A and B are shown apart, each in its own frame.
Chain A
Amino acid sequence: AAQSSSVTSGCKGRPNTTTDAGSWQTEHGLNSAFFLCWKGGFQALDGDAEACKQKIKVLVFLSQVQKSNSQPLLIITRACQAIQKLTRVRVVDNSALGNTPYHRPPKCIHVYNKTGVGKVGDTILLAIKGEKKKALIVGHKMPGPCMTPRFDSNNVVLIEDNGNPIGTRIKTPIPYTLRQKGEFSKVLAIARNFV
């Protein structure tokens, strides 16, 4: 009874923590088993010592299986929030290619940049309606330097290889910082609103 109470008190006192499967057997006692079990959430324990012991047996088995794989259960990698390969983008001009519906959203397949991350003013290659098209990034969800606007969607304007825009009008607001690079004057000419 004493054992179970110590175990229960240990669980209730601690918030969500994760311990890797390998170390718990050697370093920690019974308590850590419950931290493993309740990785994602935090649940109240039932005071039943027998049920706890059974759960631990299951965990031991699982951890042994894990050890053999030597791979974590969950792989959570936080991607950088600007535009990179396979990001879905929103075409913002009034071109036919960008506005006709298709069963797949337009996705970025290459960024013309040393790093694979595209910010405002970078050219990318899009896959739209089964064809490849170059595009210019005019806004992204990632917060940039101070005083620059941050948009709620990743906006993109379709472009030819020589830099001429395909559409004739851009209704959504475009950041003023695009004027810095002189090669987008034609895109800026068709833009209506600036931010």
Chain B
Amino acid sequence: MAAVAMAAACGRLALRGAAARPSRCFSFSGCRSSRDGETAKFQPPPKPVIIDKQKQKEERRYLSPEFIPPRGRTDPLKFYMERKDMIQRRKVFNIPEFYVGSILAVTTADPHADGKTKRFVGICIQRGGKGLGATFVLRNVIEDQGVEICYELYSPRIQEIQVLKLEKRLDDNLLYLRDALPEYSTFDVNMKPESRLDHEEIPVNKLQVRMKPKPWSKRWERPKYNIKGIKFELPEKKMKAAQKWSQPWLEFDMLREYDTSKIEEKIWKEINEELK
């Protein structure tokens, strides 16, 4: 570990040219020999590097979904430039990893608020947008009134994003919480952040939500929305009638395929280098 640190330090100094050093000393031994020359001092053996095998195995890669460019014919240069700006912002401000279904507390700057900052706690129901315009919507029920606020991840007005509870849900977006019983959207404003270990897998909350009586804002029972997190208490006849709108050919449509695995690999390498 010490050897790696020294080599890194040598490399950085060489690049910046801060002090008069022999150029291109990348290796530890190389630095030493150029300085000391004939009298070789006693070099203690390098300290053993402890490799935590468990940590190595479960090194989770998390790439925020707004980095993945949408499918289209735009010049990839545009996405590259946006990614550069996003990385710049992430260096200054920490945007934590979170998913739809995790509970966040966001502090933003507001000229009209008391103390110029306002804090909102809520469950993330939707993550939209790509690039710098990426947004997420937080929902909470305050005094029997459902409130949703859409925040832009890279907005300079956001001062802090704190993840109070990191978890996933069965669906990609939880817009059906608007038609669910309010108890599923109420979260304590003074909730304490939950601590979790780094290498643990993110828990998936398999909660099945109970809904208010129909009519709903959208017909969530239809297969188009493909929602697994609702406990439908509708009669069998209605559930069957909803299946009429299923489009089973969609999953085989080759023109809609968008394989992002290679793109993700490239972008992950790019980002990791910058943000280390």
Contact = CB atoms under 8 A, between A and B. Distances in A.
Contacts, number: 68
Given A176-B118, A179-B112, A155 B145 contact: yes
Interface stretch (A2-10, A59-67, A99-107, A143-151): A143-151
Contacts of A172: 142-145
Contacts of A195: 118, 120, 142, 147, 149
B135 A150 contact: no
A164 interface: no
Contacts of A42: 244-245
Given A150-B149, A172-B144, 8 more contacts: A15-B247, A149-B148, A150-B147, A150-B148, A152-B148, A176-B112, A176-B118, A194-B118
The 6 A-B residue pairs whose C-beta atoms are closest, nearest first, are A152-B146, A179-B112, A176-B112, A172-B145, A150-B148, A149-B147
Given A151-B147, A152-B178, A173-B145, A146 B112 contact: no
Nearest to A148: B149
Contacts of A143: 148, 150
Interface in B20-62: none
Question: What band does the interface of chain B fall in when counting residues whose beta carbon is under 8 Å from A?
Answer: 20 to 34
Interface stretch (B81-89, B151-159, B261-269): B151-159
A147 B155 contact: yes
Given A15-B247, A42-B244, A195-B120, A176 B146 contact: no
A179 B149 CA distance: 18
A153 interface: yes
